[in-house]
A = this chain, B = another copy of it.
C-alpha cells in the first residue's frame, strides 16, 4: 500500500503540530540534505509549456529514495479563482521502484520555500538581525514571516505591496500572532532600516522592485520572486561578485536574478556554506543575496520530512496505487479475479 496525504491531511497535520514546530523540523531536514548535496542526482526540470502556463516535473534521488514534484505555473489562474501554482509529489523506494507516498505539495511547497529562505539567512544574515522587510504580501509572505521568527527571532516586519488588499490580508493573518508590523508606503520605505529584505512579488516581468540606492550596508536580500525566465526583482547592480548565493547554479542562471548578469558571474552554492567549504557573509557590512528559485532536492526533503512525520498517524491514508497479486507473474489472474486477493 502507498501512503496518501491530501490537502486535508496536510492542513490537519499542520494545525495539530503547529507551523513553528514543522518549520523547525523542515529546516533541520533541509540542513541535513544540503550537507550531503553531492549525493543527489540533479536533473533539469522537465517542462511542458503552453500559451497560458507551464507544467513541470522535478525529479531527484539520493540512491535510497527517489522523489519528484509535479508543479504548474499559470499566472492567469487567480482570475478564475484558481491557484497560480499547485503541486503534488511522490516519494519512492529506489530498491524496489515502488512508490511510498503521494502527497499534496501546494502547502508543502509554501513551507519549503520559507524553510529554505530561513536556512540561507541563518548562514548569511547578520546574526543580530531583528527586522525584516517583506515586499510582496501574497501567498508566500506569512510563511516567510513565521519561519524567520521561529528560527531567527525576527518579530518586526516592514511590509509593502502594490495591492492594499494583500497587505490587509497579511495584517489580518499575522497581527493576532504578535508580529510588529509597519506598513510602508513604498518598497524603499520598507527596505529602509531592515536587516533582511525578502522580495516575493508575483508579477511575471523583469521588474526592479529593489533598486541599488535602497540597499543598506549589512542587509541580507532574500530574493524569492525572481524564479523563472523573464521574472526578476532586483536591480542588477546589486549583484556583486562574492555576494550572491544560490541553490543549484545551472538552474539559477536560467531562472533567478542571475538572468541579468553574464553566464560566468561567480556565485557560491549554499550547500558549500553549510558544509563550511565556502565562506558565507564576509563582513558585518557586506550585502548578501540569496537568489532563490527552488530546487528539486528541497522538495525531496519535504516529502521525506512529511513521510517521517505522518507515517502511522491519522494524517495519512493508504491508497492502492500498486498491484499486489499472489503470483507476481499472473497479472491477468488478478484482473480476471482468479489471482486473489484484489486489494481491498
> Chain A interface (Cβ within 8 Å of chain B)?
4, 6-8, 11-12, 14-15, 19, 41, 43, 46, 48, 50, 52-55, 57, 59, 61, 63, 66, 68, 70, 72-74, 77-78, 80-84, 86, 88, 90, 92, 94-99, 102, 104, 106-107, 110, 138-139, 141-143, 166, 169, 172-173, 319-325, 327-338, 342-344
Known: A41-B48, A328-B82, A342-B8. A323 touches B88 (CB 8 A): no
This chain's copy number in the assembly? 2
Which residues from B are CB-within-8-Å of A50? Answer: 61, 63, 94-95
B97, B98, B173: the one contacting A333 at CB < 8 Å is: B173
- Assembled-state Cα–Cα distance A324/B324 (Å): 33
In the complex, what distance in Å separates the CA atom of A88 from the CA atom of B92? 12
The residue on B at minimum CB distance from A22 is B335
Pick from B6, B74, B83, B335: contact of A343, CB below 8 A: B6
A111 CB to nearest chain B CB (Å):
8
Q: Which residue of B lies closest to A83 (CB)?
A: B328
Contact status B55-A343, CB under 8 Å: no
Closest to A326 in B: B81
A43-B48, A88-B99 known, 14 other contacts, Cβ within 8 Å: A7-B342, A8-B343, A11-B335, A15-B337, A19-B335, A50-B63, A52-B95, A57-B57, A78-B329, A82-B98, A83-B322, A86-B323, A106-B331, A173-B332
Interface centre among A57, A74, A94 (most CB of B within 10 A): A94
A80 near B68 with CB under 8 A, answer no
Residue among B8, B138, B142, B335 making CB contact with A107, cutoff 8 Å: B335
Q: Name A78's contact: one of B59, B78, B328 (CB within 8 Å).
A: B328
The distance in angstroms between the C-alpha atoms of A7 and B339, with both chains bound, is 13
CA distance A78 to B329 in the complex (A): 8
Contact among B48, B329, B335 with A169 in the assembled complex (CB-CB below 8 Å): B329
Task: Check B334 against A11 for contact (C-beta < 8 Å).
Answer: yes
Question: For the complex, would chain A's binding face be called helix, strand, loop or mixed by DSSP majority?
Answer: mixed
Q: Name the B residues within 8 Å of A48 (CB-CB).
A: 41, 43, 59, 61, 66, 94
- Chain B residues near A173 (CB-CB < 8 A): 330, 332-333, 336, 338
Give me 17 A-to-B residue pairs in the complex whose CB atoms sit less than 8 angstroms apart, sorted by A's number: A7-B320, A11-B335, A11-B342, A15-B337, A46-B57, A46-B59, A48-B61, A48-B66, A55-B61, A57-B57, A70-B92, A74-B96, A77-B328, A86-B98, A107-B335, A142-B332, A173-B330
In the complex the two chains form, is B97's CB within 8 Å of A53's CB?
yes
What residue of chain B has the Cβ atom nearest to residue A72's Cβ?
B97
Interface hub of A86, A172, A173 (most chain B Cβ within 10 A): A86
Q: How far is the CA of A254 from the CA of B92 in the complex (A)?
A: 26
In the assembly, what is the distance between CA of A141 and CA of B333, in Å?
Answer: 12
Which 9 A-B pairs give the minimum distances between C-beta atoms?
A72-B97, A142-B332, A6-B320, A7-B320, A74-B97, A139-B331, A106-B323, A78-B328, A86-B322
Complex interface: chain B residues within 8 A of A336 (CB): 15, 19, 173
Q: Which of A4, A12, A19, A84 has the most CB of B within 10 A?
A: A4
Q: How far is the CA of A57 from the CA of B319 in the complex (A)?
A: 20
Question: Smallest CB–CB gap between A327 and chain B, Å?
Answer: 7
| CB-defined contacts of A19 to chain B, threshold 8 Å | 335-336
